[in-house]
A and B are shown apart, each in its own frame.
Chain A
Amino acid sequence: QQPVQSPQAVILREGEDAVINCSSSKALYSVHWYRQKHGEAPVFLMILLKGGEQKGHDKISASFNEKKQQSSLYLTASQLSYSGTYFCGTEGLANSGYSTLTFGKGTMLLVSP
């Protein structure tokens, strides 16, 4: 099942903060966050694993509440380059027994000067 992202879109001024949320109804192994600019490939930002391990960019922070199957991405002191669509991908079990990523519909972020 597709995770639900909120908000759908957000507009910020440079320097402002934003939080993007991702919620799933399934038990998860991990949550992955990506940013995609129009027409380009999704770029990896962060992975949060069950048990608390995190891997990602130093300037990005995120949280993963395993009990609630929710994750949040925190964008602080936003820069113009942060503009794009943010996707969360949740990792659950496929029918084959192997895990797959299911992506949310995305959150569009626009940072203006």
Chain B
Amino acid sequence: DSGVTQTPKHLITATGQRVTLRCSPRSGDLSVYWYQQSLDQGLQFLIQYYNGEERAKGNILERFSAQQFPDLHSELNLSSLELGDSALYFCASSVGNGRGETQYFGPGTRLLVL
């Protein structure tokens, strides 16, 4: 158990819908990272937040957005869902702003878009 929690574990929804994934980092960690893992794309970095501020962006679609709240939990919002958005979404956290730091991954949210 890494100490990172994610809810929900599974999510089934329809195309065009909007969902929110939630992540709570390990106690004391200030950075939260979001990753998407699909069979053909592997583990793709989406976005990083550090202490409430966006730090780095990866291949995140405009339909996706995220935020980190004052209590340091983070939410990833996925809208206008498409079949191709079906994937495992992982959240990870690290102590500081990320450079040279270990990232600890949560158990993931499995999203299925029908």
Contacts and interface: CB of A to CB of B under 8 A. Distances in A.
A30 B100 contact: yes
B45 to A, nearest CB: 5
Given A41-B90, A42-B90, A94 B102 contact: no
Given A94-B56, A96-B55, A101 B103 contact: yes
Interface in A35-50: 39-44, 47, 49
Contacts of A41: 2, 90, 105-108
Contacts, number: 73
A32 B92 CA distance: 14
B42 interface: yes
A106 B58 CA distance: 19
Interface string B10-50: 00000000000000000000000100000000111100100
Contact of B48 (A30, A40, A100): A100
Interface of A: 2, 29-30, 32, 34, 39-44, 47, 49, 55, 87, 89, 91, 94-96, 98-106
A100 B105 contact: no
A100 B110 CA distance: 23
B42 A105 contact: yes
Nearest to B58: A100
B104 A29 contact: no
B9 to A, nearest CB: 11
* Most chain B beta-carbon neighbours within 10 Å: one of A44, A91, A98: A98
A104 B55 CA distance: 22
